[in-house]
C-alpha cells in the first residue's frame, strides 16, 4: 500500500481521502474508489510512524463525519475555508480539539485577499486553537514574492505554524516552495509525481532533492520515495511529473547523455543507477567526468557487491 511505503520512507505526515475531503464524494456526487472510512482504515492499519491526516470543508463535511474520522484514528484534520471568509471554521476547530485531533486551517484561494487580511485570518485561527495555518495557491497564480509576503505577514501577526500548499499551473510550484521555506514556513504539501488537481502540486521527490541541495535535512529516504513514485504513480499515470531517473540526473548535475554510462557503471559496481546518481549529487558539484562516476561507485558500492568479491 502506498501509505505504508510513504511511512517507511520517512514522510512525517500522510493525508488520505477524497480531493474534496470528508463527505466530498457522497454529498457532491464526485466519484471515489472507496469510502472515507475505507481510506482512513486502510491507511491507519499501515501507517506506524507518520501522523495521518484528512481534509474537510465545513458545509460539505458534517460534524458526525469528523467525529467518525477521529474515532478511526486520524491525527490531523485540515479544515478548508475560503480566505477572507473564515469564521465558519471555528466550530470545526473546536470539534477537532474536543475529539483529540490536531486542527489545521487551510485558507483556500489565499490570493483573493491581501497579505495583511490573510494574516488577520491566521490570528483568528490561532485564537480558536488551530495548530497550523496554510497559505494556499489554489489557482497556481502566485509568484515567489507573493508567497514570501503571505508567509512573512502571518509570521509577524500570528503565533501559529505556517504551511504552504501550491499548484503548478504556471510551473512556479517549486520556486514557491523554496520561497515559503525561506520565509519561515514549517510545512509543505506535496504529492508523488506531482499528482493533483489541475496542473498538480509540488512533486514530493523533487521537493526532497531541492531541499537537500539547499542544505535542509528532511529525513526522507529519497530512493524509497522515488521508487514508490515510479512504481505506483508512474505506472498508473504515465507522463505525470518527472521520472525518478530525470530527477536524479538533475540532482547529480550530470547531462542526460551520460545515463547509459551511469547504468553500465552502476551494474558493474552492484548499485541501483539512481543510488549512484544521488551519491554523485551529494558532492554538490556538477560533473561530466566518467572517472568521477567510477570513483564514487567504488566508494558507495553495496555490501552485497562487496561480499561477492
Identify whether the C-beta of residue 165 lies closer than 8 Å to the C-beta of residue 136.
Answer: yes
The answer to whether residue 303 scores a pLDDT higher than 70 is: no
**207 and 72 belong to one structural domain:** yes
**36 and 153 belong to one structural domain:** yes
H-helix or E-strand containing 251?
Answer: helix 244-252
Task: Give the predicted TM-score (pTM) of the model.
Answer: 0.93
6-30 pLDDT tens trace:
999 999 999 999 989 999 987 777 7
Contact residues for 307 (Cβ-Cβ < 8 A; gap 6+)? none
167-177 pLDDT tens trace:
999 999 999 99
70-124 pLDDT tens trace:
999 999 999 999 999 999 999 999 999 999 999 999 999 999 999 999 999 999 9
Task: Report d(CA 273, CA 164) in Å as an integer.
Answer: 32
Identify whether the C-beta of residue 3 lies closer than 8 Å to the C-beta of residue 39.
Answer: no
**50 and 154 belong to one structural domain:** yes
Whether 231 is covered by a domain: the verdict is: no
Whether 256 is covered by a domain: the verdict is: yes
**6 and 85 belong to one structural domain:** yes
Please report, for the domain that includes residue 67, its CATH number.
3.20.20.70
**179 and 259 belong to one structural domain:** no
Strand, helix or coil for residue 309: coil
Beta strands in the chain (DSSP E): 13-15, 51-56, 76-82, 102-108, 132-136, 161-165, 187-188
Please report, for the domain that includes residue 283, its CATH number.
1.10.8.60
**206 and 262 belong to one structural domain:** no
Total domains, the chain: 2
Nearest to 170 by CA among 195, 199, 191, 197: 199
251-263 pLDDT tens trace:
999 999 999 999 9
Identify whether the C-beta of residue 134 lies closer than 8 Å to the C-beta of residue 162.
Answer: yes
**203 and 264 belong to one structural domain:** no
- For residue 193, the enclosing domain spans 2-220
Amino acid at each position: 500500500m502506498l501509505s505504508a511505503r510513504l511511512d517507511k520512507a520517512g514522510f512525517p505526515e500522510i493525508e488520505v481521502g477524497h480531493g474534496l475531503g470528508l463527505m466530498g464524494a457522497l454529498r457532491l456526487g464526485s466519484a471515489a474508489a472507496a469510502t472515507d472510512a475505507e481510506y482512513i482504515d486502510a491507511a491507519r492499519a499501515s501507517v506506524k510512524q507518520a501522523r495521518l491526516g484528512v481534509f474537510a470543508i465545513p458545509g460539505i463535511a458534517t460534524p458526525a463525519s469528523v467525529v467518525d474520522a477521529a474515532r478511526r484514528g486520524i491525527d490531523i484534520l485540515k479544515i478548508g475555508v475560503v480566505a477572507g471568509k473564515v469564521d465558519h471554521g471555528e466550530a470545526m476547530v473546536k470539534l477537532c480539539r474536543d475529539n483529540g485531533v490536531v486542527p489545521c486551517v487551510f485558507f483556500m484561494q489565499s490570493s483573493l485577499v491581501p497579505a495583511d487580511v490573510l494574516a488577520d485570518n491566521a490570528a483568528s485561527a490561532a485564537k480558536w486553537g488551530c495548530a497550523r495555518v496554510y497559505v494556499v495557491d489554489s489557482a497556481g497564480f502566485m509568484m515567489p514574492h507573493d508567497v514570501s509576503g503571505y508567509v512573512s505577514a502571518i509570521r509577524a501577526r500570528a503565533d501559529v505554524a505556517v504551511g504552504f500548499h501550491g499548484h503548478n499551473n504556471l510551473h512556479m510550484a517549486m520556486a514557491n516552495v523554496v520561497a515559503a521555506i525561506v520565509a519561515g514556513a514549517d510545512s509543505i504539501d506535496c504529492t508523488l509525481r506531482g499528482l493533483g488537481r489541475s496542473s498538480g502540486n509540488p512533486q514530493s521527490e523533487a521537493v526532497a532533492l531541492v531541499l537537500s541541495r539547499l542544505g535542509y535535512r528532511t529525513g526522507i529516504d529519497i530512493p524509497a520515495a522515488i521508487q514508490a513514485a515510479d512504481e505506483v504513480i508512474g505506472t498508473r499515470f504515465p507522463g505525470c511529473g518527472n521520472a525518478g531517473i530525470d530527477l536524479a540526473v538533475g540532482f547529480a548535475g550530470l547531462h542526460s547523455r551520460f545515463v547509459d554510462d551511469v547504468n553500465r557503471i552502476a551494474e558493474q559496481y552492484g548499485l541501483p543507477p539512481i543510488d549512484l546518481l544521488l551519491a554523485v549529487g551529494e558532492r554538490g558539484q556538477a560533473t561530466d567526468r566518467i572517472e568521477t562516476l567510477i570513483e564514487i561507485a567504488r566508494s558507495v558500492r553495496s555490501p552485497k557487491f562487496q561480499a561477492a568479491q
